[in-house]
Structure 1
Amino acid sequence: MIPFNKPFIIGNELKYIEQAVLSGKISGDGLFTKKCHSFFEKKYGFQKVLLTTSCTDALEMAAILCDLKPGDEVIVPSYTFVSSANAFALRGAKIVFADSYEDNPNVDPQSIASLITTKTKVIVPVHYAGVACDMEAIMKLAGDHNLFVVEDAAQAIDSYYIFADGTRKALGSIGHFATFSFHETKNIIAGEGGMLVINDSSFNERAEIIREKGTNRSAFFRGEINKYGWVDIGSSFLPSEIISAFLYGQLEHLDEIQGKRISIWNRYLEGLKEIVSQGKVSSPIIPTYGDNNAHMFYIVCQSIEERNQLIAHLKNKDIHSVFHYLSLNKSEYFLKNNVEIDIPFSDKFTDRLLRLPFYFELSESDQNLIINEILQFYESK
């Protein structure tokens, strides 16, 4: 069986876990957590980062920092993972769903613009497949209407936005806040794990408090205060040193991991170019303002029936491919309290997008087998 995903070890992950245990501290904010924080801040220019137990937790922290009240509106793509919306729904916000572009799953700024009201408080662009949303357009909308922007960069580690003047900025460094994931399906993994990025220093202190169960414990351990207590709302968002140690072992090999993933991505693109040029399937779109961190490779089929047939064909050959998000505007939870709304391009990708096996240790021979089976499927149609 060629799996869809496979976790991997590339360097000192296990050595660092042992080192953390032997140090006598495996709870949060130890040596390896600090090493990870320093790595991200220096490499990507993030103003401040805080590791979390998941990207979901980072989104929940961002929602608290945005000081949402019941009735506030948050604009979220319909084509995304539930956490992108749920984190804000937990604060009592009304979720307003925006549509994708016709030719790629990222949220369309024109759709966002049409949904802004006097109650809108936050925009949540999701960088699908690690490819940048149009952040210049989104930040302009936010500036014009005094809105927060929370970049959901779960899939976007080591990916950049290219501004009109040629300036490059790491995804996650542009909005007021950003969130990342180190789930086992991501480029850089820790099993679970995530990160909150704070790009406005006025939120630094409160972010630390929220992450530490609503206490000013972090300031206490830095010697800035002589005792700590409950000063705000919050929860337990810190990952253990075991997660941070594994993550740091991966970060030391970031360039090697990315180089291998880009070669896998390019091999898929080259191998499937014939059926793409024939219009049988579509391949990922990389806009002029974005680059490619090779988080995933997907194709877009002509119909849900065709996609299901292709999944079955590949499964019969012991190849595991998967579809992705289900439009949140059609979810059971949303429809309990809302009328069904039409978001056509999100529905298109829900029905037709297919993700192909993609992981660091995917061999060239296995990848060629996947490509050949897809080509044979379309030759037979």
Structure 2
Amino acid sequence: MIPFNKPFLTGKEAHYMYQAVYTGKLSGNGAFTKKCQRYFEEKYGFKKCLLTTSCTDALEMCAILCDLKPEDEVIVPSYTFVSSALAFVRQGARIVFADSMANNPNIDAEKLESLITDKTKVIVPVHYAGVACDMDKIMDIANKYNILVVEDAAQAIDSYYKGRALGTIGHLSAFSFHETKNIIAGEGGLLGINDERFIRRSEVIWEKGTNRSEFFRGEVNKYGWCDTGSSFLPSEVIAAFLWAQLENLDMIQHKRKELWNYYFNGLQALSKEGFFRLPQISKYATNNAHMFYIVCRSLDERSVLIKYLKDHSVSAVFHYLSLHKSDYYKTNYVEIPDLPQCDLYADCLVRLPMFYELQSEDVEIVVKLISTFYKSRD
């Protein structure tokens, strides 16, 4: 069986976790936490980074930092994971869903301005598959209307837009280290802060609404409750696991990009014959090889293809359902928007196996199966 995903271990995870355990400092914000945060700040240029227990937690911190009031509007692509919207719903915001691009699942920046009202407070671009949204366009619109931008960079570690690391362009950003991501910690996330006005408050929110971080740095002689917040920081065990992964980021990325290119080159001829669409990487974006997907011609075709691959011991899966068609949205919102590109990806996109230990021979097997499937149908 060729699985869809298999978590990769570098070999140092247990060693660093052992170190964390025997330092006697197991709660959050210890040595490994600081090393991981400093890694992102120095390598990518964030003003401040804070590890979290998940990307969802990082997004919830973003929503708190945006100081949303009831009925404030937040623009989110409908083709995304529920956390992209849920984090802001929990702060009382009204979600306005945006459509995807015709050639890419990312938010269609050309249509954003038409969604803006005097209640719009935040835009949440999601860098699907680690490929950049059109951030210049999005930031120009945000600056024009004095709107905050929160990058959902869950899938976008080590990916760039015009030479700038994803997550460093908007005011705030969130990353994921879930076991399906390029760099993993089982669960885990990161809040990226690019606007200095959010730095102090983010630490308070991170530490359960207290100025505990300032106390441990010796900046105040006591700490107490001074804002809202929660227990967002992960334990040192999680940070230690993550550090072993970050040490090997370049090696992991190199292998994943090789596998992605095997897929692309192997399937290109079939795509040119019109059987399906391959991912398109915009000129302004890099590819971090988070996933490889194809876009089938119909929902029925996708369903049959997934079953065919499963019958031949290959696990391929579809991805997001349209959030604007979810039970929650239909129950709580009167108007259901028409978002045809989002629905296209929800119905037709299928993800192929992609993980570090996948071999080129495995990719060749998957490519040959897909070729046989389409040639027999044709």
Whole-angstrom CA distance in 1 between matches of 2:172 and 2:336 = 30
Cross-structure match for 2:181: 186
Q: TM-score, normalised by structure 1?
A: 0.98
1:330 to 2:325 alignment = yes
- Is 2:264 the counterpart of 1:272? no
Q: Match of 2:127?
A: 127
Match status 1:4 vs 2:7: no
Q: In the alignment, residue 303 of structure 1 is paired with which amino acid?
A: S
Contact 2:97/2:337 (CA < 8 Å) preserved in 1?
Answer: no
Q: Matched residues in 2 for 1:93 and 1:111: separation? A: 21
* 2:100 corresponds to: 100
1:367 paired with 2:363, answer yes
For residue 204 of structure 2, what is the aligned residue in structure 1?
209
**By how many angstroms is 1:262 displaced?**
0.2
AA at the equivalent of 1:370: V
Measured after TM superposition, the shift of residue 341 of structure 1 is 2.1
Q: Tell me the secondary structure at the aligned position of residue 112 of structure 2.
A: helix
Give the Cα separation in 2 of the matches to 1:364 and 1:341.
42
Query: How far apart, CA to CA, are the structure 1 residues paired with 2:371 and 2:10?
Result: 32
Q: How many angstroms apart in 1 are the aligned matches of 2:302 and 2:183?
A: 29
What is the aligned length?
376
Query: 1:110 Cα deviation (Å)?
Result: 2.0
Root-mean-square deviation (Å): 0.7
Cα distance in 1, alignment partners of residues 370 and 10 from structure 2: 30
Q: Which residue of 1 aligns with 2:85?
A: 85
Structure 1 unmatched ranges of 5 or more: 163-167
Rounded Cα–Cα distance in structure 2 between residues aligned with 1:372 and 1:274 = 12
Give the Cα separation in 2 of the matches to 1:341 and 1:201: 36
- State the 4+ residue runs in structure 1 displaced beyond 2 angstroms: none
> CA offset at residue 203 of structure 1?
1.0
How far apart, in 2, do the equivalents of 1:36 and 1:207 lie? Answer: 17
Aligned residue type for 1:194: G
1:165 aligned residue: none
Query: Displacement, 1:111?
Result: 2.1
| Cα pair 1:139 1:175 within 8 Å, conserved | yes
- 3-state SS of 2:283 partner: coil
Cα deviation, residue 378, structure 1: 0.4
**Aligned 8 A contact 1:11 1:250 in 2:** no
Tell me the distance in 1 between the aligned counterparts of 2:284 and 2:61: 29
SS for the counterpart of 2:150 is: strand
How far did residue 340 of structure 1 move?
Answer: 2.5
Give 1:218's aligned amino acid: S
- Whole-Å separation in 1 of the counterparts to 2:58 and 2:22: 29
Whole-Å separation in 1 of the counterparts to 2:315 and 2:26? 36
Give 1:301's aligned residue. 296
Q: CA deviation at 1:11?
A: 3.6
AA matched with 2:306:
I
Sequence identity percentage: 63
Please give the residue correspondences for 1:26-175 in structure 2 after superposition, counting only pairs within 5 Å: 26-162=26-162, 168-175=163-170
The secondary structure found in structure 2 opposite 1:67 is coil
1:10 Cα deviation from its structure 2 partner: 1.2
1:8 deviation in Å? 1.4
**Pairwise CA distance, 1:209:** 0.3
Tell me, in whole angstroms, the C-alpha distance in 2 between the residues paired with 1:113 and 1:191: 38
